[in-house]
A and B are shown apart, each in its own frame.
Chain A
Amino acid sequence: AQSVTQPDIHITVSEGASLELRCNYSYGATPYLFWYVQSPGQGLQLLLKYFSGDTLVQGIKGFEAEFKRSQSSFNLRKPSVHWSDAAEYFCAGEGPGTASKLTFGTGTRLQVTL
Protein backbone atom coordinates (compact mmCIF):
# COMPACT_ATOMS: atom_id res chain seq x y z
CA ALA A 1 0.00 0.00 0.00
CA GLN A 2 1.13 3.52 -0.68
CA SER A 3 2.22 5.33 2.44
CA VAL A 4 4.12 8.28 3.78
CA THR A 5 5.84 8.12 7.15
CA GLN A 6 7.05 10.93 9.36
CA PRO A 7 9.03 9.27 12.16
CA ASP A 8 9.21 12.31 14.41
CA ILE A 9 6.03 13.41 16.15
CA HIS A 10 7.57 16.41 17.84
CA ILE A 11 10.86 18.28 17.39
CA THR A 12 12.27 21.19 19.35
CA VAL A 13 15.03 23.41 17.99
CA SER A 14 16.55 26.68 19.09
CA GLU A 15 16.02 29.77 17.00
CA GLY A 16 18.89 30.11 14.54
CA ALA A 17 19.67 26.41 14.55
CA SER A 18 19.34 24.21 11.50
CA LEU A 19 16.34 21.97 10.98
CA GLU A 20 15.73 18.67 9.26
CA LEU A 21 12.33 16.96 9.25
CA ARG A 22 12.26 13.41 8.07
CA CYS A 23 9.87 11.86 5.56
CA ASN A 24 9.91 8.39 4.06
CA TYR A 25 7.62 7.08 1.36
CA SER A 26 6.52 3.71 0.09
CA TYR A 27 5.20 3.66 -3.47
CA GLY A 28 5.52 1.27 -6.40
CA ALA A 29 6.73 4.03 -8.69
CA THR A 30 8.36 7.36 -7.89
CA PRO A 31 5.59 9.51 -6.42
CA TYR A 32 5.05 13.21 -6.50
CA LEU A 33 6.09 14.53 -3.09
CA PHE A 34 5.03 17.58 -1.15
CA TRP A 35 5.64 19.38 2.11
CA TYR A 36 2.87 21.43 3.70
CA VAL A 37 2.93 23.62 6.80
CA GLN A 38 0.03 24.32 9.12
CA SER A 39 0.32 27.14 11.62
CA PRO A 40 -1.87 26.95 14.72
CA GLY A 41 -5.51 27.43 13.80
CA GLN A 42 -4.69 27.85 10.15
CA GLY A 43 -5.12 25.92 6.93
CA LEU A 44 -2.47 24.17 4.88
CA GLN A 45 0.20 26.02 2.99
CA LEU A 46 2.34 24.34 0.36
CA LEU A 47 6.06 24.74 1.07
CA LEU A 48 7.46 22.87 -1.90
CA LYS A 49 6.87 20.00 -4.28
CA TYR A 50 8.85 17.43 -6.23
CA PHE A 51 7.56 16.02 -9.50
CA SER A 52 10.76 15.02 -11.31
CA GLY A 53 14.18 16.34 -12.30
CA ASP A 54 16.50 18.06 -9.88
CA THR A 55 16.41 16.18 -6.59
CA LEU A 56 17.03 19.29 -4.49
CA VAL A 57 13.88 21.37 -4.40
CA GLN A 58 13.66 24.94 -3.17
CA GLY A 59 10.50 26.19 -1.54
CA ILE A 60 9.10 29.20 0.17
CA LYS A 61 10.24 30.66 3.49
CA GLY A 62 13.80 29.41 2.99
CA PHE A 63 12.92 25.71 3.06
CA GLU A 64 14.38 23.05 0.80
CA ALA A 65 13.93 19.30 0.46
CA GLU A 66 16.03 16.59 -1.10
CA PHE A 67 14.57 13.58 -2.89
CA LYS A 68 16.68 10.45 -2.31
CA ARG A 69 15.42 7.48 -4.26
CA SER A 70 17.89 5.06 -2.66
CA GLN A 71 16.58 5.92 0.80
CA SER A 72 12.93 6.49 -0.18
CA SER A 73 13.16 9.82 1.59
CA PHE A 74 12.18 13.41 1.06
CA ASN A 75 13.52 15.30 4.07
CA LEU A 76 12.77 18.96 4.65
CA ARG A 77 15.59 21.29 5.71
CA LYS A 78 16.14 24.86 6.73
CA PRO A 79 19.56 26.29 7.59
CA SER A 80 18.38 28.71 10.27
CA VAL A 81 15.02 28.42 11.98
CA HIS A 82 12.98 31.47 12.98
CA TRP A 83 10.48 31.53 15.85
CA SER A 84 7.70 31.99 13.29
CA ASP A 85 8.49 28.56 11.83
CA ALA A 86 6.83 26.90 14.82
CA ALA A 87 3.99 24.91 13.26
CA GLU A 88 3.00 21.43 12.19
CA TYR A 89 4.61 20.07 9.05
CA PHE A 90 3.11 17.43 6.81
CA CYS A 91 4.81 15.39 4.16
CA ALA A 92 2.54 14.01 1.45
CA GLY A 93 2.85 11.78 -1.56
CA GLU A 94 0.80 11.14 -4.66
CA GLY A 95 1.26 8.37 -7.19
CA PRO A 96 1.56 9.27 -10.87
CA GLY A 97 -1.82 9.63 -12.56
CA THR A 98 -4.55 12.14 -12.07
CA ALA A 99 -6.79 9.72 -10.17
CA SER A 100 -4.23 9.08 -7.49
CA LYS A 101 -4.88 10.60 -4.11
CA LEU A 102 -2.62 12.68 -1.94
CA THR A 103 -1.57 10.62 1.08
CA PHE A 104 -0.35 12.49 4.13
CA GLY A 105 2.07 11.55 6.85
CA THR A 106 0.97 11.98 10.43
CA GLY A 107 2.80 15.26 10.82
CA THR A 108 5.71 16.64 12.84
CA ARG A 109 5.11 19.43 15.28
CA LEU A 110 8.00 21.88 15.42
CA GLN A 111 8.64 23.92 18.52
CA VAL A 112 11.18 26.75 18.39
CA THR A 113 12.83 27.95 21.58
CA LEU A 114 14.22 31.44 21.87
Chain B
Amino acid sequence: EAQVTQNPRYLITVTGKKLTVTCSQNMNHEYMSWYRQDPGLGLRQIYYSMNVEVTDKGDVPEGYKVSRKEKRNFPLILESPSPNQTSLYFCASKPGHFTGANVLTFGAGSRLTVL
Protein backbone atom coordinates (compact mmCIF):
# COMPACT_ATOMS: atom_id res chain seq x y z
CA GLU B 1 0.00 0.00 0.00
CA ALA B 2 1.27 3.43 -0.96
CA GLN B 3 1.74 5.43 2.19
CA VAL B 4 3.68 7.88 4.28
CA THR B 5 4.64 6.50 7.68
CA GLN B 6 5.47 8.68 10.66
CA ASN B 7 6.84 7.64 14.01
CA PRO B 8 6.18 8.12 16.82
CA ARG B 9 2.49 8.90 16.58
CA TYR B 10 2.43 10.30 20.09
CA LEU B 11 5.27 11.62 22.20
CA ILE B 12 5.56 13.51 25.44
CA THR B 13 8.99 14.89 26.18
CA VAL B 14 10.68 17.58 28.25
CA THR B 15 12.30 20.83 27.30
CA GLY B 16 15.75 20.43 25.83
CA LYS B 17 15.69 16.70 25.20
CA LYS B 18 16.58 16.10 21.57
CA LEU B 19 14.09 14.11 19.57
CA THR B 20 13.58 12.90 16.02
CA VAL B 21 10.30 12.24 14.25
CA THR B 22 10.84 9.84 11.39
CA CYS B 23 9.03 9.93 8.07
CA SER B 24 9.22 7.32 5.36
CA GLN B 25 7.39 6.98 2.03
CA ASN B 26 7.22 4.00 -0.30
CA MET B 27 6.11 5.78 -3.48
CA ASN B 28 9.52 6.85 -4.79
CA HIS B 29 8.47 10.48 -4.44
CA GLU B 30 11.08 13.19 -4.91
CA TYR B 31 9.29 15.90 -2.92
CA MET B 32 8.76 15.62 0.82
CA SER B 33 7.61 18.16 3.36
CA TRP B 34 6.88 18.70 7.04
CA TYR B 35 3.93 20.69 8.39
CA ARG B 36 2.79 21.58 11.86
CA GLN B 37 -0.85 22.10 12.74
CA ASP B 38 -1.95 24.44 15.51
CA PRO B 39 -5.49 25.51 16.48
CA GLY B 40 -6.62 28.56 14.58
CA LEU B 41 -3.50 28.58 12.40
CA GLY B 42 -4.13 25.67 10.06
CA LEU B 43 -1.11 23.82 8.74
CA ARG B 44 2.16 25.63 8.23
CA GLN B 45 5.14 24.31 6.34
CA ILE B 46 8.33 23.76 8.35
CA TYR B 47 10.77 22.39 5.78
CA TYR B 48 10.63 20.71 2.43
CA SER B 49 12.92 18.69 0.21
CA MET B 50 12.90 18.53 -3.56
CA ASN B 51 15.17 15.48 -3.68
CA VAL B 52 18.05 13.74 -1.91
CA GLU B 53 20.41 16.24 -0.28
CA VAL B 54 18.16 19.16 -1.32
CA THR B 55 16.24 20.81 1.51
CA ASP B 56 14.86 24.28 2.11
CA LYS B 57 13.03 26.25 4.76
CA GLY B 58 9.31 26.66 4.83
CA ASP B 59 7.36 29.26 6.78
CA VAL B 60 8.25 28.20 10.33
CA PRO B 61 11.68 26.53 10.34
CA GLU B 62 13.02 27.94 13.61
CA GLY B 63 13.95 25.23 16.10
CA TYR B 64 13.85 22.42 13.55
CA LYS B 65 16.34 20.57 11.38
CA VAL B 66 15.84 18.07 8.60
CA SER B 67 17.97 15.81 6.47
CA ARG B 68 17.39 13.90 3.24
CA LYS B 69 20.09 11.30 2.86
CA GLU B 70 17.82 8.77 1.21
CA LYS B 71 14.92 9.35 -1.11
CA ARG B 72 12.40 7.54 1.06
CA ASN B 73 13.24 9.14 4.43
CA PHE B 74 12.85 12.71 5.69
CA PRO B 75 13.32 12.92 9.47
CA LEU B 76 12.40 16.01 11.47
CA ILE B 77 14.84 16.82 14.24
CA LEU B 78 14.16 18.98 17.28
CA GLU B 79 17.60 19.61 18.77
CA SER B 80 16.32 21.35 21.90
CA PRO B 81 12.53 21.19 22.05
CA SER B 82 10.59 23.95 23.74
CA PRO B 83 6.93 24.08 24.84
CA ASN B 84 6.01 26.24 21.82
CA GLN B 85 6.83 23.26 19.64
CA THR B 86 3.95 21.32 21.15
CA SER B 87 1.90 20.60 18.07
CA LEU B 88 0.56 18.05 15.62
CA TYR B 89 3.09 17.29 12.91
CA PHE B 90 2.43 15.95 9.44
CA CYS B 91 4.86 14.60 6.90
CA ALA B 92 3.83 14.54 3.24
CA SER B 93 5.24 13.58 -0.14
CA LYS B 94 4.47 13.87 -3.85
CA PRO B 95 6.22 13.30 -7.18
CA GLY B 96 8.80 15.95 -7.98
CA HIS B 97 7.69 16.31 -11.58
CA PHE B 98 4.17 17.34 -12.54
CA THR B 99 2.10 14.34 -13.56
CA GLY B 100 -1.31 15.99 -13.69
CA ALA B 101 -2.24 14.29 -10.47
CA ASN B 102 0.24 15.84 -8.10
CA VAL B 103 -1.36 15.66 -4.72
CA LEU B 104 0.46 15.53 -1.44
CA THR B 105 0.08 12.23 0.35
CA PHE B 106 0.02 12.87 4.10
CA GLY B 107 1.12 10.70 6.96
CA ALA B 108 -1.21 10.05 9.89
CA GLY B 109 0.38 12.73 12.05
CA SER B 110 2.59 12.83 15.13
CA ARG B 111 1.29 14.55 18.23
CA LEU B 112 4.15 16.03 20.21
CA THR B 113 3.91 17.53 23.68
CA VAL B 114 6.89 19.34 25.18
CA LEU B 115 6.68 19.94 28.92
Q: Which residue numbers of A lie inside 8 Å of B, CB to CB? A: 6, 9, 32, 34, 42-44, 46, 49, 51, 90, 92, 98-99, 101-107
Contacts and interface: CB of A to CB of B under 8 A. Distances in A.
Interface in B23-47: 31, 33, 35, 40-45
Nearest to A105: B42
Nearest to B43: A104
Contact of B42 (A34, A43, A90): A90
A104 B88 CA distance: 15
Given A98-B98, A101-B58, A46 B103 contact: yes
Given A43-B90, A51-B100, A107 B33 contact: no
Interface range on chain B (Cβ under 8 Å from partner): 20 to 34
Contacts of A90: 42-43
Contact of A98 (B45, B90, B97, B107): B97
A44 B4 CA distance: 12
Main secondary structure of the interface of A (DSSP, over half): loop
B48 A101 contact: yes
B102 A106 contact: no
Given A101-B33, A101-B45, 15 more contacts: A42-B108, A43-B90, A43-B106, A43-B107, A44-B106, A51-B100, A90-B42, A98-B50, A98-B96, A98-B97, A101-B48, A102-B33, A103-B45, A104-B35, A104-B42
Nearest to B38: A106
A36 to B, nearest CB: 8
B109 interface: yes
